[in-house]
Structure 1
Amino acid sequence: MKLFHRDRREDSRSHRRIYAQFEIAYTIVDFAAALLFIVGSVLFFYEATQRVGTWMFLVGSVCFALKPTLRLVREIKLYRLGDTEDLADRIGGRD
């Protein structure tokens, strides 16, 4: 079983649930990063708000760093669920 195998997300009910949870988290982080960069960019137009804009860029950058981290954690969780075909055979084909 390999990491980052696209078909794994459909292996079982647990796989689908984990995949969906991480997709939601990934999308939230993506929106947060984009929003922080847009607002930070606007704040950079005014000298009085440049410091806040800089902090928004920093937090937005952290959000962008979270994206691949979330994907890696998701894939490790899916990987740790194991070989579902063998498991299904052992318990009579149930998820």
Structure 2
Amino acid sequence: MKLFNHANRQRNADTRRVYALFEIAHTLVDFGAAVCFTIGSVLFFWPKYETPAVWLFTVGSVLFMAKPTLRLSREIKLYRMGKLDTLAERAEND
């Protein structure tokens, strides 16, 4: 087993559920970042809203940074779930 292996996602119902939940989280983060950047961009048209615009760009940047973190966390979780399956199979065979 290794990270970022498609088979890890399809191993059983639990891994498919974990994968789906992480995909939903990833999509929400992606959408949140896009909204922050879009609203921030519009706010830059008015000088009095520059500070909120900068904050929205900062929040959007943090959200974009969270995306690879979510993907790596998902893959580590799926990898560990596979390790538990392997240990369970070994215990059954002993």
1:20-76 CA distances to partner (integer Å, 9 max, x unpaired)?
Answer: 000000000000000000000000111000000000000000000000000000000
Counterpart CA distance in 1 for 2:9 and 2:88 is 16
Segments of 5+ residues of structure 2 without an aligned counterpart are: none
TM-score norm. by structure 2 comes to 0.88
Segments of 5+ residues of structure 1 without an aligned counterpart are: none
Pairs aligned (count): 91
Asked if residue 27 in structure 1 is aligned to residue 27 in structure 2, the reply is yes
1:69 maps to 69
Shift of 1:8: 1.6
TM-score norm. by structure 1 comes to 0.87
Higher helix share: 2
* Runs ≥4 residues deviating over 3 A: 83-91
Asked if residue 47 in structure 1 is aligned to residue 47 in structure 2, the reply is yes
**Identity across the alignment (%):** 52
